[in-house]
Copies of this chain bind each other. A is one copy, B any other.
Amino acid sequence: MRRIVVVGGVAGGMSAATRLRRLDEEASITVLERSGHVSFANCGLPYHLGGVIEKRSSLLLQTPESLAARFAIDVRVHHEVRAIDREHRRVSVRDLATDESFELGYDALVLSPGARPVVPNLPGMSVAHTLRDIEDLDHLVAAARDVEAAVVIGGGFIGVEVAENLVHRGIPVTLVEATDQVMAPLDPEMVEPVHDALRAAGVQLVLGASVERIEPAHVTATTLDDGTVATAVGVPVVHLSDGRALPAGLVVAAIGVRPERALAEEAGLAIGERGGILVDEQLRTSDPAIFAVGDAVEKHDGLDASSVLVPLANTANRQGRVVADVIVGRPGADRPVLGTAIVGVFGVAAAAVGWNEKRLRAAGRPHRVLHTHPGSHAGYYPGAETIALKLLVDPDTDAILGAQAVGRDGIDKRIDVIATAMTGGLTAGELADLELAYAPQFGSAKDPVNMLGWVDRAVADGDVETVQWHELGAALAAGATLVDVRSPAEHAARPIPGGVNVPVDDLRARMDELPDGPLVVHCEVGLRGYVAARLLAQHGREVRNLDGGYRTWRAGTAATHVAEEVSAPA
């Protein structure tokens, strides 16, 4: 009889345990979990805070009892594994309820300890809440009662979700993010709708400032007339690097997570360059009897096989299943990760897959960039919402390197389709040939994903040359003339400075009005600009099209202004 011990009883750990039972009815399977709950919906925690998920019990997908009944798994909550004795293949366990310790032998040990929230070592930070498990949630819910203002530190997906849900509770929220944008997976010109949604919902967004210290709540004591002393407890004040002081009855730190690796490290298991537990393709650590999965391990990047940390539930669950197969001796191998992710906030969804432009640039990897702004479904059918889409493509191979989508509808679908295309090895141009389900309420005869394929081919085939939003200034400085091919009304309402206006439909007739020399054409989103560029090129003009049109330019420029303000001395 195999003895299997699993450390951590949530996404990766419990997926491994249940799969192990399905594969081996005889094995002894013990799951040790430090917190008071297993198999809870981590990803749902923020939504119970905001009352979106009404019942706390909805978050508890399984209990030790249900897992014992169905899978004959010995699940022990409030049990922390303190050390691994690799030589004797046993773990030392602390029962946190009784404070007693004991040893437990294993033939195979699975570590799925997850990742812990980073809490910066700053004065007063101990008042800050973090959100990782049910206990954290309970504390947060209790602390959120009668709070007049909250500060959320960190604009990653958990910070953004917590901010949204505090607003749902009616608490005014300031979100403080040290960089110049929330949601780091998005490039700066893509993030604007998320910033807008946060602001429109009343979140005070502070970008480019960091927390320097938290001043504890002052207790003021007043001696009353009758000689008794009345004490009043104030609220902590969050002091920012830009000098702001924000009184906040509630502070939540959500500046990221780090692999929970102490146990592995102390046992002498190899740790990778990113600080995660190092595992091979079979999820084996440097000790062949010990496996590790989930947020705690380093993964291999789907594009360049480099080590990456991808703390996402899909990966943790899949690895849990793979490790079970490996342990019973079946073929099973971990896959490189694309890191597909999505967040929803106040009705806006933002999703990404693969690499973003920031990362491609930092790595010096050549890339072609495309921006489009299609409707989520056919424009003639009511309710279509604009999607901001970005595709990053390898200019040599046409391989898809990454994609981003932001908007109110159809975001998850487009990113899922592109993630699937990447996994299937389709090129960017091949997106044009996908047969996607079309009726007017669901998409377009040429779906936004198809359209990305055509826009890509137009560039790849040399039919059009594009200028990116951040290259426009240089192009104009080098002498190009900017031609706005939108209607006069659009030109007047939303101009790019320095542009002359000749609508695309008048171009053939008014071509002689255009000054000599290189041209950059632009429209609202890039389509009419492309049509104009094709026309002008065939009439012998040197012309480039502003990729993504006015909209991408405006979003990018707005983001740059933020960045400049942020980096300017306070």
Pick from B321, B351, B435: contact of A337, CB under 8 Å = B435
CB-CB nearest in chain B for A505: B69
Pick from B70, B382, B446, B539: contact of A53, CB under 8 Å = B382
A399-425 vs B: 1/0 string, CB under 8 Å?
000000000000111011101110111
A44 within 8 Å of B (CB atoms): yes
Query: Which of A90-98, A103-111, A342-350, A556-564 lines the interface with chain B?
Result: A342-350
A440 within 8 Å of B (CB atoms): yes
Pair A435/B53 contact, Cβ less than 8 Å: no
When A and B form their complex, which 8 residue pairs have the shortest distance between CB atoms, in order from nearest? A424-B424, A342-B437, A25-B538, A313-B445, A69-B505, A413-B413, A340-B435, A420-B420
A102 within 8 Å of B (CB atoms): no
In the assembled complex, which residues on chain B have CB atoms less than 8 Å from the CB atom of A351?
Answer: 437
Pair B43/A378 contact, Cβ less than 8 Å: yes
Q: Within the complex, what minimum Cβ distance (angstroms) separates A445 from chain B? A: 4
Query: Which of A221-229, A284-292, A426-434 lines the interface with chain B?
Result: A426-434
In the assembled complex, which residues on chain B have CB atoms less than 8 Å from the CB atom of A180?
Answer: none
A260 within 8 Å of B (CB atoms): no
A72, A313, A317, A412 pick with most chain B CB within 10 angstroms: A412
In the assembled complex, which residues on chain B have CB atoms less than 8 Å from the CB atom of A25?
Answer: 534-535, 538-539
Pair B438/A313 contact, Cβ less than 8 Å: yes
Tally chain A residues at the interface, Cβ within 8 Å: 87
14 A–B contacts, CB within 8 A, in A order:
A25-B539, A41-B378, A43-B378, A43-B445, A315-B435, A318-B433, A318-B446, A340-B436, A341-B437, A342-B438, A344-B441, A419-B434, A419-B437, A423-B426
Q: Within the complex, what minimum Cβ distance (angstroms) separates A525 from chain B? A: 15
- In the bound complex, how far is the Cα of B384 from the Cα of A100, in angstroms? 43
A24, A157, A439 pick with most chain B CB within 10 angstroms: A439
Pair B439/A416 contact, Cβ less than 8 Å: no
A312, A435, A447 pick with most chain B CB within 10 angstroms: A435
Q: Within the complex, what minimum Cβ distance (angstroms) separates A92 from chain B? A: 31
Pair A439/B378 contact, Cβ less than 8 Å: no
A86 within 8 Å of B (CB atoms): no
A443 within 8 Å of B (CB atoms): yes
- In the bound complex, how far is the Cα of B432 from the Cα of A314, in angstroms? 10
Pair A439/B343 contact, Cβ less than 8 Å: yes
A460 within 8 Å of B (CB atoms): no
Pair A342/B423 contact, Cβ less than 8 Å: no
A52 within 8 Å of B (CB atoms): yes
